[in-house]
Structure 1
Amino acid sequence: MEQVFIYDTTLRDGSQAEGINFSVEDKMRILQKLDEFGVHYIECGWPGANPKDTILFERLRKIKTQNAKIVAFGATRKAGKKAHEDKQVENLLKSGAKVITVFGKSWDFHVTHAIGTTLEENLDMVYETVSYLKKHVEEVIFDAEHFFDGYRHNESYAFKVLEAAFQAGADWIVLCDTNGGTLPNEVYEITKKVVQKFPQARVGIHAHNDSDTAVANSLMAVLAGARQVHGTINGLGERTGNANLCSIIPNLQLKLGFSVVPSQNLKKLTELAHFVSEISNTPLPKNMPYVGESAFTHKAGVHASAVMKRSETYEHIDPSLVGNRRKVTVSDLSGRSNILYKLREMGLEVDDKSPELIKLLEKIKELEKEGYHFEAAEASFELLCKRHFGLVKNYFDLDAYRVLIARRSTDLSPVSEATVRLYVEDIKEHTAALGNGPVSALDRALRKALEEFYPSLKDVQLIDYKVRIVNESEGTSAKVRVLIESTDGRRKWGTVGVSENIIEASWIALTDSLVYKLLKDEEEGIM
């Protein structure tokens, strides 16, 4: 099967979506998931454009990816400057990335009206920047910004821009539908002409979704000869978003027969989509193709009856191929195979007809109704399953906790104090601690009570804390879901808590975080 290379820009283009603000830790965690999934290129940001991206690239120098090439993104040199004199071009080299993507104008209208220079100078900017970078890094990718609009308005000049990049040594020439206004038939025809005109070049596609055709445009470009596809997980991106890789990847691999990612990795697609949804704090539409909760859901009636006999009657693929699951809303069998798969991942072999398995499934359903989502809280899900089978001991028992928040007129900010009473091995511990917020105070008091008995908890750090309203229509009485990310320096894990009370939801997630650390230490024999 012919290979198509996936270029993920969730961390850069995806972060430009309204309401999304990835922290450095968010980016590191998403990058790890993308790398494990088998993405070929991960565009991590624009070095020097903001402090977070600069810090991120400094941290990336110290890690080695399994599958993906780390990519730094930037622009061609400014008009009137030499490439080596342009600070942002130098920042790309200083990033340490071995692959650099630069974008340049391929629409004459943008050259004269947006950057205000001559058409010849723009060609020099493209050629000189690509050739300069190519001397210092392994791979240079050229994004021909607004290529399809440029082609329609001035075909000759658009091709001259591609020629400049190709002659300068660009490893990939990527055709960008930056405004998202091109339709699939046009993308196919234009891409085919580019492939024919540059038979030695490797061509890619970068589509935006303003006409709701970004996925279709990407597929048509591949059919026309493109072999690198840019996009984001869940289609995140500015305005209406970028091409959705969660649809593109299975369409290419399962429908068109291209080699994209290993088939065993494709089964993690739904997990990846929900993971990015939680980290970005953007709800995943239930009806999103392939990975949405409703993508393979069938109600009672003709559909449900038929699909239980032969799944292909009302399903275009086997949902397990992308890690999703069939749901028959009136059946207690719904989701059993999915749980069995997860249990086996944890090393638990359970008979598929076991009453305990059915009870676990029902318990998970009830928790989901309450607002629990375990996609980005892998640790809480593992604890839930292992507790159900009696495989997690009581490391401590709660007697009581209390959180006080006070602010006097002379205080610059409120003062938070937490008190915790626990029983550890029949010994009562009563501790108190201050924090820069109620959750911080609660965390410190809990650790203070436990670290004497479990010294390894000193290694645990909370590195992220997110809150989401579960049932928005309830106003101030709504339930909240708290997601906490923790690390001990060797691994990272996520835990979740749900309650009408944000402190109680935080307590659930906090205690799960510490219990998970203790359980893993015990399983590894280091307690």
Structure 2
Amino acid sequence: MASKRIEIMDTTLRDGEQTSGVSFSASEKLTIAKLLLEELKVDRIEIASARVSEGEFQAVKNITKWAKDNNYLDKVEVLTFVDKGVSIDWMIEAGAVVQNLLTKGSLNHLTYQLKKTADQHFSEISETIALASSKGIKTNIYLEDWSNGMRNSKDYVFQFLEFLSTQKVDRIMLPDTLGILTPPESYEFVKEIKEKYPDLHFDFHAHNDYDLSVANVMSALNAGADGLHLTVNGMGERAGNAPMASTIAMINDFMPTIEIGVNEKVLFTVSKLVENFSGIMIPANKPVIGANVFTQTAGIHADGDNKKNLYFSDLMPERFGRTRKYALGKASGKANIQKNLQELGLSLNDNDLKKVTQRIIELGDKKEVVTKEDLPYIISDVLDSYSYEEHTKVNSYVLTHAKGLKPSTTVSITIDGDTYEEIASGDGQFDAFMNALRKIYMMRDENLPDLIDYAVRIPPGSHSDALCETIITWKNGKNEFKTRGLDSDQTVSAIKATEKMLNIITN
């Protein structure tokens, strides 16, 4: 079967900007436009609606100037209106040469919004197209509410299409404006139109209100659609538009007779930039571009990946400039941890690996977030913990810190089977904890080592919820030694390091 080249039009800067709360600056729009055309290599971009604002006008001027200088001007499109040439004048001033003219694709919209007859509407459209042509502007036509038009007023839609077939129009754009179509309807409606007008170019524009946009796009392509309208991250009004990344991956993997020019390697890069500019965060589980979609959590999956990549699919992360990750948490098995250790260039024997695995599971049970960068700290902490016999155990403690009052701590510990409880205050919570311990050891006629250094570190790039490693250097007579503690709370990690010290001096 012969392949067919499909145009991809990105409307992130126009329809995508209709996402609630999103407004790109002129410089952001220019940056995104450059990335879309030069790096992602979409065929066309829709960048604005005419007559919106002075800021929008300046943004369009910036983009059209750059596009003209770089031979992209015919790929830059602006949404316009049937308004006796006002939109066309706006376009000319802004330097744009392709209009996407918004018209009524359903009898319901025509009757109740415009309050006009079909002949009146067609006549005004014809005048607008002729005026645009006389000014050197090319025209594409949006049939707004086309999907409802096909459901409820099909005769009107075909009357409209018959009229458009006589006009100087490059593309007819079929929007599922309210996202109401099902995949069978998308196929049926597009196929019926393409069979009647095989020589006309039809774009399909899907919305995602029922989470069916990608499925509808697939059906429309199977029915013969010539172009698609997509947005980065699926941005757009309400539930958004058909998402660029998922759609491109779907076409490349499941539609071998469809050719597209999009460079999927930069999909993730563009998505992250748009996320930053828009302030709309990408869901962690969003296909292709979400933070978690190439992360294996279950240990059995990591084990399967070690055995002839049993849990791999064609949706490989490297295609999109990403890497596979193996999550560390309560579902982790040894295989997950080994994968992360390999990336860090570390190795453990089976016995030590078992101990580290158990510690990670314990952290996961407490809902701690464990990252690959935490692993060296966890390994150090775990292996250090097994280097001595436990004679002393910190049973419990209460740390208090109130404004205007000295911090205080109540501590309960067991030493060689005897349990002690003491209260003390100090200059900080850890100092109060140490003062309480000193009281207990004074009762036993024993001295504690001196604390001579106290260092805290977290893995590079971590956030406020990161695991924290506290390394304390102690001096006991002439001897110095270090202990480590690991926890997401700095004071608790110091207490864990101190508990190790107590066991070392007891052994």
Question: Shorter-normalised TM-score: what interval?
Answer: 0.5 to 0.7
Could you tell me which residue of structure 1 aligns to residue 313 of structure 2?
A: 315
Could you tell me which residue of structure 2 aligns to residue 290 of structure 1?
A: 288
Q: Residue by residue, what CA displacement relative to the aligned partner does 1:436-482 show, whole Å, maximum 9, x if unpaired? A: xxxxxxxxxxxxxxxxxxxxxxxxxxxxxxxxxx889xxxxxxxxxx
Query: Superposition pairs for residues 120-135 of structure 1, below 5 Å?
Result: 120-135=119-134
Q: Does residue 1:10 correspond to 2:15, yes or no?
A: no
Whole-Å separation in 1 of the counterparts to 2:171 and 2:207: 19
Whole-Å separation in 1 of the counterparts to 2:111 and 2:23: 33
Could you tell me which residue of structure 1 aligns to residue 422 of structure 2?
A: none
Could you tell me which residue of structure 1 aligns to residue 106 of structure 2?
A: 107
Could you tell me which residue of structure 1 aligns to residue 89 of structure 2?
A: 90
TM-superposed CA distance for 1:171, in Å, is: 0.9
Whole-Å separation in 1 of the counterparts to 2:71 and 2:309: 35
Inter-CA distance 336–305: structure 2 relative to 1 (3 Å threshold)? closer
Q: Residue by residue, what CA displacement relative to the aligned partner does 1:233-269 show, whole Å, maximum 9, x if unpaired? A: 011011111111111112112321222125xx31111
Q: Given the alignment, which residue of 82, 103, 121 partners 1:77?
A: 82
Whole-Å separation in 2 of the counterparts to 1:11 and 1:308: 43
TM-score (norm 1): 0.60
Query: Superposition pairs for residues 369-448 of structure 1, below 5 Å?
Result: none
Q: Residue by residue, what CA displacement relative to the aligned partner does 1:179-220 show, whole Å, maximum 9, x if unpaired? A: 111111101000000101111101110111112111111121
Whole-Å separation in 2 of the counterparts to 1:250 and 1:134: 37
Which secondary structure does the structure 2 equivalent of 1:34 belong to? helix
Inter-CA distance 48–104: structure 2 relative to 1 (3 Å threshold)? same
Which secondary structure does the structure 2 equivalent of 1:285 belong to? coil
Quick one: which amino acid aligns to residue 281 of structure 1? G
Could you tell me which residue of structure 2 aligns to residue 244 of structure 1?
A: 243
Could you tell me which residue of structure 1 aligns to residue 378 of structure 2?
A: none
Which secondary structure does the structure 2 equivalent of 1:102 belong to? strand
Whole-Å separation in 2 of the counterparts to 1:318 and 1:69: 34
Whole-Å separation in 2 of the counterparts to 1:240 and 1:185: 21
Could you tell me which residue of structure 2 aligns to residue 326 of structure 1?
A: 324
Report if aligned partners of 2:80, 2:99 keep a CA contact under 8 Å in 1. Answer: no
Inter-CA distance 94–146: structure 2 relative to 1 (3 Å threshold)? same
Q: Given the alignment, which residue of 13, 23, 33 partners 1:31?
A: 33
Report if aligned partners of 1:207, 1:218 keep a CA contact under 8 Å in 2. Answer: yes
Report if aligned partners of 1:40, 1:67 keep a CA contact under 8 Å in 2. Answer: no
Unaligned runs of at least 5 residues, structure 1:
338-351, 356-363, 368-469, 473-527
Q: Does residue 1:177 correspond to 2:176, yes or no?
A: yes
Query: Superposition pairs for residues 127-526 of structure 1, below 5 Å?
Result: 127-137=126-136, 139-257=138-256, 258-261=258-261, 265-311=263-309, 313-329=311-327, 330-331=336-337, 333=339
Whole-Å separation in 2 of the counterparts to 1:115 and 1:185: 30
Could you tell me which residue of structure 2 aligns to residue 20 of structure 1?
A: 22
Q: Given the alignment, which residue of 54, 57, 71 partners 2:57?
A: 54
Inter-CA distance 301–333: structure 2 relative to 1 (3 Å threshold)? closer
* Greater C-alpha Rg: 2
Quick one: which amino acid aligns to residue 279 of structure 1? F
Which secondary structure does the structure 1 equivalent of 2:99 belong to? strand
Percent identity (aligned)? 29
Which secondary structure does the structure 1 equivalent of 2:287 belong to? coil
Inter-CA distance 31–228: structure 2 relative to 1 (3 Å threshold)? same
Report if aligned partners of 1:22, 1:280 keep a CA contact under 8 Å in 2. Answer: yes
Which secondary structure does the structure 2 equivalent of 1:294 belong to? coil
TM-superposed CA distance for 1:365, in Å, is: 6.0
Could you tell me which residue of structure 1 aligns to residue 44 of structure 2?
A: 41
Q: Residue by residue, what CA displacement relative to the aligned partner does 1:78-125 show, whole Å, maximum 9, x if unpaired? A: 4xxxx4xx3123213333223221110011111110122222111222
Report if aligned partners of 1:106, 1:145 keep a CA contact under 8 Å in 2. Answer: yes
Whole-Å separation in 1 of the counterparts to 2:345 and 2:169: 57
Which secondary structure does the structure 2 equivalent of 1:44 belong to? strand
Report if aligned partners of 1:144, 1:162 keep a CA contact under 8 Å in 2. Answer: no
Which secondary structure does the structure 2 equivalent of 1:114 belong to? helix
Mean Cα displacement is larger for which, 105-114 or 131-140?
131-140
Report if aligned partners of 2:24, 2:278 keep a CA contact under 8 Å in 1. Answer: yes
Which secondary structure does the structure 1 equivalent of 2:237 belong to? coil
Q: Residue by residue, what CA displacement relative to the aligned partner does 1:12-32 show, whole Å, maximum 9, x if unpaired? A: 111111121211111111112
Could you tell me which residue of structure 1 aligns to residue 474 of structure 2?
A: none
Report if aligned partners of 1:104, 1:142 keep a CA contact under 8 Å in 2. Answer: yes
Which secondary structure does the structure 1 equivalent of 2:22 belong to? coil
Q: Residue by residue, what CA displacement relative to the aligned partner does 1:109-160 show, whole Å, maximum 9, x if unpaired? A: 1111012222211122233323332343464211111111011111111112
Inter-CA distance 133–68: structure 2 relative to 1 (3 Å threshold)? closer
Q: After the TM superposition, which parts of structure 1 deviate over 6 Å for at least 4 consecutive aligned residues? A: 352-355
State the superposition RMSD in angstroms: 2.8
Could you tell me which residue of structure 2 aligns to residue 485 of structure 1?
A: none
TM-superposed CA distance for 1:310, in Å, is: 3.3
Inter-CA distance 353–61: structure 2 relative to 1 (3 Å threshold)? same
TM-score (norm 2): 0.62
Report if aligned partners of 1:210, 1:239 keep a CA contact under 8 Å in 2. Answer: yes
Inter-CA distance 48–110: structure 2 relative to 1 (3 Å threshold)? same
Quick one: which amino acid aligns to residue 5 of structure 1? E
